[in-house]
Amino acid sequence: MTSRERVLTSLSHREPDAVPVDFGSTAVTGIHVSVVAALRDYYGLEKRLVKVHEPYQMLGLVDDDLKEAMGIDTEGVFPRKTIFGFENRGWKSWRCQDGLEVLVPEDFRTTVDENGDILIYPEGDLSAPPSGKMPKGGFFFDTIVRQEPIDEERLNPEDNLEEFGPVTEEDLEYFRREVEAAASKGRAVVANFGGTGFGDIALVPAPFLKHPKGIRDIAEWYISTRTRRDYIHAVFSKQCEYALANLARIFEAVGNRVDVVFLCGTDFGTQESAFCSRQTFDELWLPYYKRINDWIHANTSWKCFKHSCGSVERFIPSFIEAGFDILNPVQCSAAHMEPEHLKSTYGDRIAFWGGGVDTQRTLPFGTPAEVREQVLRRLEVFSKNGGFVFNSIHNIQAGTPVENVVAMIDAVREFNGRRR
């Protein structure tokens, strides 16, 4: 099988010739730039600086030679602009706080405050208030909340819609070009077109806008899903209208060369519980997700990808009802997320993309032997009857020993070798 066939077979809940592997195709299945650099050294690949293509989490671009070395079966297509509102172009050198030299986009502009924290700016505009902060000694950026005073009498849903609207011709041409290039490589194409992340808490503060209006404070947004539900419905409803119109135009441009579409990264689970009840989810989110997924399934062959961290077992029936084909990151360390239970209960109705190894404890702090053992055990559970794409639980973080990452990849190869 080709890499693309391998992924599509598994997503059709049939066993492929080998368990497919993804690293780097989305902003939630990536690798911190420092680990990408370490992996390039480990595999003896060409010496060159690694590009930071997702600056919020400081994710490194996984080039073709490293994909080959790691046995990766996916190819990602990302939006034209990053979460900080600038494009990935005009690469320049930048030195991380640990001394690693990397490449960043030309509009990746930073200053250092009196505490030694690194500040980054929307669209690279140093005259605007900073929208992200990398703490001194840190490895990625945290959002800076820029909430204007809320006047209940003047609160307007349009203020939370300023980042949404009709897709531009420039974006359509960009997606056409990027999807065509990705599809030519023989891997499964995973695209993120944007605009469908209803209430994604990474996007609500709008780090890409210079002066965001509306409800932009994270805590205030969560409170609003309870106390200002009509307001949230108004935002989601208009956003959904934009998204459906944009998806139709994007599909005209890229067609079925896309295999998987990343739709949303809205988190609903915590380590032990959830941000809302299933009843709230069904009333507030499910109708909009369903409209998007129903359109995609009626008009394309794309598979619909849902990301949600934490203990989300209670929501999986609703995810399925909403039409999601894929759940990521499958946080098995969270409450009620045992692999055997998830696979036996839901494995014939939704594919699991992730869950291959714990990135909170085992991968960063375990031994290579412990990594191998957990990977093989997860593969044994999740790979039965397909419906599984191997990935770690969320991104591989800075400080993860390269020997452990290699042990993870070697364990996947070992497992696939037993099946052949």
Please name the residues in contact with 284: beta carbons below 8 A apart, sequence gap of 6 or more. Answer: 225, 229, 232, 233, 236, 276
pLDDT above 90 (res 418): no
* 57 contacts 359 by C-beta, under 8 angstroms: no
Q: What is the pLDDT of residue 420?
A: 65
pLDDT, average across residues 362-368: 98
Question: Could you report the per-residue pLDDT of 51-99, keeping only the tens digit for each?
Answer: 999 999 999 999 999 999 999 999 999 999 999 999 999 999 999 999 9
**199-215: average pLDDT:** 97
Q: Average pLDDT, stretch 8-36?
A: 98
Position 419 scores a pLDDT of 72
Query: What domains are there in the chain, each with its CATH number?
Result: 3-30+72-78+145-419 (3.20.20.210)
pLDDT in tens, 128-165: 999 999 999 999 999 999 999 999 999 999 999 999 99
The number of helices, as runs of H, and strands, as runs of E, in the chain is 13, 15
3-state DSSP of 30-87: CEEHHHHHHHHHHCCCCCCCCEEEECCCCEECCCHHHHHHHCCCEEEECCCECCCCCE
Name the pTM for this structure: 0.97
Average predicted confidence (pLDDT) for the chain: 97
Distance CA 328, CA 391 (A): 9
pLDDT tens, position by position, 249-289: 999 999 999 999 999 999 999 999 999 999 999 999 999 99
How confident is the model at residue 103, as a pLDDT?
98
- C-alpha distances out from residue 268 to 145, 155, 320, Å: 20, 25, 15
Helices (H), 314-394: 316-322, 339-346, 362-365, 368-382
Rounded Cα gap, residues 251 and 97, in angstroms: 41
